[in-house]
Amino acid sequence: MASSSHPLRVLILGGTTEALALGRALENMSDLHGIFSLAGITPSPHLPYIETRQGGFGGIEGLATYLHAQEIGAVIDATHPFAAQMSRNAVAACAQTGTPLLRLQRPGWQPSPDDDWIIVPDIDAATAALGATPRRAFLTTGRKDLAPFCAAPQHHYLIRSIVAPDPASLPPDHTILLQRPPFTRESETRLMREHRVDILVTKDAGSDATSPKLAAARDLGLPVVMIARPTLPPARTVTTVHEAIDWLRSLSHAGTRRDV
Ligand code: NAP
């Protein structure tokens, strides 16, 4: 059984507000030792006051080696719903090492009757959904998913990103906005009006911090190209930090800490 002298060592794969909230919740829990991991791509990230690490593990093998070396007793995959590679690696490495894994993932957004959503499976389909007629598209898909829009250079793109995108990935007619969420319905409406946006393109992130753009699009009567979440291998999944803590506590109390 994990005791205060041997707390359960928990690797949190971060990158979302839920991951940060979980990390913060673990700050004062003596039976759970959290290690907060980020890919290391966002400058000056918000961090909890627990052990942190940044940078990739080196694929499935690298993660399996890390889990073993660090005597990790549980992994919480709280990465972004579109961080599919990391989530797949977590499933494989945890299976390989026998480490309990929980996915903490917020639910996807749901359209209301007043919404005009075009749901597409991926970025290429989102590009095609903009059509042949030139439009003014607001892209909030992240800086790594811009290159496919070069295939539709007839549109003007308002591109919002936390970190400046690679200039080589940009479609010719664009405006860049460097901004970090949260946003409000009022500011999103103002922004879309100012830039004369006529269609919004987004991933189904499900985050409250970025959902005001959907309400703004609804208010302005604009269509939304909604990119569906990637399919992930099955894993035990919860949607709230509270449930994740309950699961960790049950593991801790059951004494499933690995003694490697
Ligand atoms: P990804 O394609 O699934 O991951 C690419 C690689 O980055 C992984 O294979 C892993 O490298 C490393 N990595 C990702 N998350 C990591 C973490 N938490 N700790 C350590 N290494 C990590 O993910 P991504 O789309 O590049 O996203 C990177 C990070 O940004 C994630 O933490 C994600 O939650 C966050 N994020 C992503 C999006 C999005 O739309 N994709 C949006 C907002 C935030 P190794 O194989 O070397 O271990």
Please state, for a pLDDT cut of 70, what percent of the chain lies above it: 96
CB 99 near ligand 1, within 6 Å:
no
pTM, 2 dp: 0.91
pLDDT at 5 over 90: no
pLDDT at 259 over 60: no
Mutate to test the pocket of ligand 1, among 41, 79, 139, 179 (most ligand atoms within 8 A of CB): 79
pLDDT at 122 over 50: yes
Task: Write the pLDDT tens digit of every residue in 189-228.
Answer: 999 999 999 999 999 999 888 899 999 999 999 999 999 9
The answer to whether 30 touches 7, Cβ cutoff 8 Å, is yes
pLDDT band, residue 126 (cuts 50/70/90): very high
Q: What's the CA-to-centroid distance between 162 and ligand 1, angstroms?
A: 15
Rounded mean pLDDT, 116-128: 98
In this predicted structure, what is the pLDDT of residue 1? 42
- H or E element at residue 214: helix 212-220
- H or E element at residue 23: helix 17-25
Task: Write the pLDDT tens digit of every residue in 240-250.
Answer: 999 999 999 99
Task: Write the pLDDT tens digit of every residue in 14-61.
Answer: 999 999 999 999 999 999 999 999 999 888 899 999 999 999 999 999
In this predicted structure, what is the pLDDT of residue 257? 45
Higher pLDDT, residue 1 or 38:
38
- The number of the ligand 1 atom at minimal distance from the alpha carbon of 58 is 47
Mutate to test the pocket of ligand 1, among 16, 51, 85 (most ligand atoms within 8 A of CB): 85
Q: Would you give the distance in Å from CA 89 to the centre of its chain?
A: 15
* Strand intervals (E) in 87-233: 101-104, 117-120, 136-139, 156-161, 174-178, 199-203, 224-227
Per mean pLDDT, which range of 49-53, 143-147, 186-190 is the poorest?
143-147
In this predicted structure, what is the pLDDT of residue 43? 83
CB 92 near ligand 1, within 6 Å:
no
CB 56 near ligand 1, within 6 Å:
yes
Rounded mean pLDDT, 249-259: 74
Residue with tokens 């970090």: 180
In this predicted structure, what is the pLDDT of residue 208? 87
